Chains A and B, each alone.
Chain A
């Protein structure tokens, strides 16, 4: 299995809702990431997990809460989001953080719309 699977593919939520994004990989990668991508912009790093521990939080608002239940799964819990949080949320994994001869493997993303 050489894929990163993200669910759901699309999500529309109200500003008072609570929802979760899910990400799964079975490549044995020990680093997993959440990126946020707005239209016509590059992916922006949100969170880094290394060996199932949160190593970097790029000053992301607390309405985004990551969770790494095990080495294959990564969740992003959403609560009280704002319309400006609407974006494509990408999960990625790599063998380790940093140098990786095979690069990052990205999921197809969750396209989130906050209304």
Chain B
């Protein structure tokens, strides 16, 4: 089945620095979704990417879907302490009836 790999596992930045997390799939994805989970919280949906080469922006967050629809990235410009949390990419897994299979996540720590 589909394996979603995500790097880095951890990232520690100073407030104001940029941050990027990368997601790679072993198979072509029909779509990819991104979630944020704050410490002690639950995953919260950020965005879904569907089209090859798609780029979407949400304020300081930029999401990209690769041309081959096998990779994706999330870039945060000028991080803030409110960005702290774990960012997960997730793709539908054919072995699970196309339910979401989550990557291992990237934990972001931002120090002021």
Q: Is the CB of A45 within 8 A of B99?
A: yes
Q: Which residues of A contact B (CB under 8 A)?
A: 31, 33, 40-45, 48, 50, 55-56, 58, 90, 92, 97-109
Whether A98 contacts B30 in the complex (CB less than 8 A), given A45-B99, A50-B97, A106-B43, comes out as yes
Q: Which residues of B contact A (CB under 8 A)?
A: 30-31, 33, 35, 41-48, 50, 88, 92-93, 96-105, 107
CB distance from A74 to the nearest CB of B (A): 14
Q: Which 3 A-B pairs give the minimum distances between C-beta atoms? A: A103-B45, A98-B98, A42-B102
Q: Is the CB of B42 within 8 A of A109?
A: yes
Q: Is the CB of A42 within 8 A of B88?
A: yes
12 A-B Cβ contacts within 8 A? A43-B88, A43-B102, A44-B102, A45-B101, A48-B97, A56-B99, A58-B96, A98-B30, A103-B33, A104-B35, A104-B45, A105-B45
User: What are the residues of chain A within 8 A of B43 when measuring CB–CB?
Assistant: 43, 90, 92, 104, 106
Whether A56 contacts B96 in the complex (CB less than 8 A), given A42-B88, A100-B48, A103-B48, comes out as yes
User: What are the residues of chain B within 8 A of A102 when measuring CB–CB?
Assistant: 45, 48
Whether A48 contacts B44 in the complex (CB less than 8 A), given A41-B104, A42-B103, comes out as no
Q: Is the CB of A42 within 8 A of B105?
A: yes
Whether A48 contacts B103 in the complex (CB less than 8 A), given A103-B48, A106-B42, A108-B41, comes out as no
Q: When the two chains form the complex, which single residue of B44, B88, B92 contacts A98, counting CB atoms closer than 8 Å?
A: B92
Question: A50-B97, A106-B44 known; 18 other A-B pairs, CB under 8 Å?
Answer: A44-B102, A45-B93, A45-B101, A48-B96, A56-B97, A58-B96, A90-B43, A92-B43, A97-B99, A99-B48, A99-B50, A102-B48, A103-B33, A103-B46, A104-B100, A107-B42, A108-B41, A109-B42
A108–B48 CA distance with the chains assembled, in angstroms: 21
User: What are the residues of chain B within 8 A of A108 when measuring CB–CB?
Assistant: 41-42
Q: Is the CB of B104 within 8 A of A97?
A: no
